[in-house]
Each structure stands twice: as C-alpha cells, then as structure tokens.
Chains A and B, each alone.
Chain A
Amino acid sequence: MVDALTQSMGAAPQLIWHRETVLPDLDLIVLPGGFSYGDYLRSGAMAARSPVMKEVVRKANDGVAVLGVCNGFQMLTEAGLLPGALMRNRSLKFICRDVFLKVDGANQTFSGNYSSGQVIRIPVAHHDGNYFADNETLNRLEGEGQVGYRYCDAEGNTGDAINPNGSARHIAGIYNDRGNVLGMMPHPEDHVEDLQGCSDGRGLFDGLVEALS
C-alpha cells in the first residue's frame, strides 16, 4: 500500500501508529489490509476500537477522504463509518486469487480514472469478505449510487457463480452517503505496476491524487 501510494503521489505517505490520538492535517487516510489482532472476536473489531480510530472517525465526518482495503474495510464497518458487516465467506474458505470488478457508482474522489461500468482485474485475499446488510440498506446503497465496485466476470457479468464470497448484491466496495469514505475487500494496491502482473489498480490511486491535489 505504501509503495502504491508513493508511486501515485510521488512522495511517501506518513505512517501513523494505532495508539496515536492526534492526526496531522491530511488529505487522505488509508486503512490498509492485514489481520489486525488475529481477527479475534470479529474481523476488524478490535482495531476499530484502537485509540487512533476516534480521530479517523472525526476526520471522516469532517469530510477527509478515507480508503479502507480488506481489513481496513472491515474496520470501517465496525467503526460505523460504513453500513453493513463483512461476514465469513460463503465457502468458509480463505480466498486468494484475482477477481474482476465492475466499477459501479461514479465518485469524484475514488473513481476518477475509471469509467462507469469499466471492468478491472484486482486480487482478493480474505476469509471474511461476505458483505451483509439488510435489504433496506442495500436498496439505499444502490439507489444512492453508493455501491463502488461489484464482483463480475471478465465481460462484466454478475451472478452467484461469479461472486467469490457470497456478498449481498455482489458488492465488493461501498461509499458512505457523503462519498468521502470507500471500503473495499479487493486489493487495488497489489495491481499497480506490470511487475505485479497487472496495473488495473493504479487508476484508483492516480485518480485519488488528481482529485485531492
């Protein structure tokens, strides 16, 4: 994640320790993936209560852009910044492979370099990526253009057989109602240069830098 951000920004991001209680002025906060606290209790549950998260929530509510990937997405739902929850994969198996994503809702900050409906290839690596929310919430997310990315095949078709983890409505990533917070299970930072076999994720970071500069 640090390398991906550095490549797009041309400068290294600041790394913030989870016990910090004050954040500097920031344009973007990124909660990267990982398995914080060994996924004890629930994925992201403990990390979402880390001291620094109070400030992250405050900044997000002030309108600062926040990106959460994988465990970061789980933390954002646990912290109440995004609706719903990430549950155990339908197959009960850890999934580690490339998937195709369809860029769904347009968002000024997070989808700048992608066109709506564009299909990108991005890896997933998770055990708890099965997005759940009640129907009312799902309808609202779809109605308000808050679904950012959906699992699909190479042609952009969605379906139960294509959905890797059982996520409701094939959702891979969502925005908050204000559009300044994005949580997604796939790892765009793992596809930013040809050395990684694909650079489809680069557009997200380049778009972020353009939108926030």
Chain B
Amino acid sequence: MKAIVHVTLKNGVLDPQGKAIEHALDGLGFDGVGEVRQGKVIELELDTADKDAALSQVSDMCEKLLANTVIEDYSIDLAD
C-alpha cells in the first residue's frame, strides 16, 4: 500500500516561500491568484494492506518526524 502525506503550514503561520511564488505568478501575468501556500508531499511504500494499521502507523510517523506540528498540519491519503 502507498501512503501519501501532505504537509502544509498551519493557518496563521507566515509562508515567505508561498509569498515569493505569489509575486512570481503575478509577474508572469497570472491574474486572480490569491494567497499561495507551499507545502510538501511525502510518498511512502508500506508493507501492510490493512488501512487502519497503515493510517495509525503513518500518523505516528507524522507526529514524530514528518511534520513539525508547532507550525505544520498534515493529511494522509492511502492508495492501493
């Protein structure tokens, strides 16, 4: 099973990289773009086929390493 983890900055945490992308898009003439936030995608291959076990294991990984929950939120998608 594959787990896809999305890590994003929490609301209220300034994202200077997102801001720079926003300005660059504006410079390229892309109108109508609001706030841009940059995050990370982490893909993990897991041995298990048990979705509950996978979710619990990856949540634990997020809490302990993959995300810094002081500044980041995470979400987990599982795919076969």
Contacts from A to B (Cβ < 8 Å) = 41-42, 45, 49, 77-78, 83-85, 87-92, 130, 132-134, 166
B16 touches A89 (CB 8 A): yes
Pick 18 A–B contacts, CB within 8 A, sort by A. A41-B65, A45-B65, A45-B68, A77-B70, A83-B70, A84-B70, A85-B70, A87-B14, A87-B16, A87-B71, A88-B16, A90-B14, A90-B16, A92-B16, A92-B17, A92-B20, A132-B13, A134-B12
Q: Tell me the bound Cα distance from A7 to B77 in angstroms.
A: 54
In the complex, which of the residues A90, A92, A133 contacts B70, with contact meaning CB atoms closer than 8 Å?
A133
- For B12, what are the chain A residues with a Cβ–Cβ distance below 8 Å? 134
Question: Contacts A85-B70, A92-B20 given; 10 further ones with Cβ under 8 A?
Answer: A45-B68, A49-B64, A49-B65, A83-B70, A89-B16, A91-B16, A130-B16, A132-B14, A132-B71, A133-B70
Counting chain B residues whose Cβ lies within 8 A of the other chain, the interface size class is: 10 to 19
- For A166, what are the chain B residues with a Cβ–Cβ distance below 8 Å? 14, 16
Q: Tell me the bound Cα distance from A91 to B17 in angstroms.
A: 9
Which 3 interchain pairs have the tightest Cβ spacing?
A85-B70, A85-B71, A92-B16
B6-54 CB contacts (< 8 Å) to partner A: 12-14, 16-17, 20
Tell me how far the C-beta of B71 lies from the nearest C-beta in chain A, rounded to whole angstroms: 5
Residue of B nearest to A44 (CB): B68
- Which secondary structure dominates where chain A touches chain B? loop
Q: Tell me the bound Cα distance from A49 to B72 in angstroms.
A: 18
- For B64, what are the chain A residues with a Cβ–Cβ distance below 8 Å? 49
Tell me how far the C-beta of B38 lies from the nearest C-beta in chain A, rounded to whole angstroms: 10
Q: Tell me the bound Cα distance from A135 to B70 in angstroms.
A: 12
Tell me how far the C-beta of A54 lies from the nearest C-beta in chain B, rounded to whole angstroms: 13
Residue of A nearest to B13 (CB): A132
Tell me how far the C-beta of B58 lies from the nearest C-beta in chain A, rounded to whole angstroms: 15
- For B66, what are the chain A residues with a Cβ–Cβ distance below 8 Å? 41
- For A88, what are the chain B residues with a Cβ–Cβ distance below 8 Å? 16-17
In the complex, which of the residues B16, B20, B68 contacts A42, with contact meaning CB atoms closer than 8 Å?
B68
Residue of B nearest to A168 (CB): B14
- For B14, what are the chain A residues with a Cβ–Cβ distance below 8 Å? 87, 90, 132, 166
Q: Tell me the bound Cα distance from A137 to B65 in angstroms.
A: 22
In the complex, which of the residues B13, B16, B17, B68 contacts A78, with contact meaning CB atoms closer than 8 Å?
B68
Tell me how far the C-beta of B69 lies from the nearest C-beta in chain A, rounded to whole angstroms: 10
Q: Tell me the bound Cα distance from A130 to B19 in angstroms.
A: 15
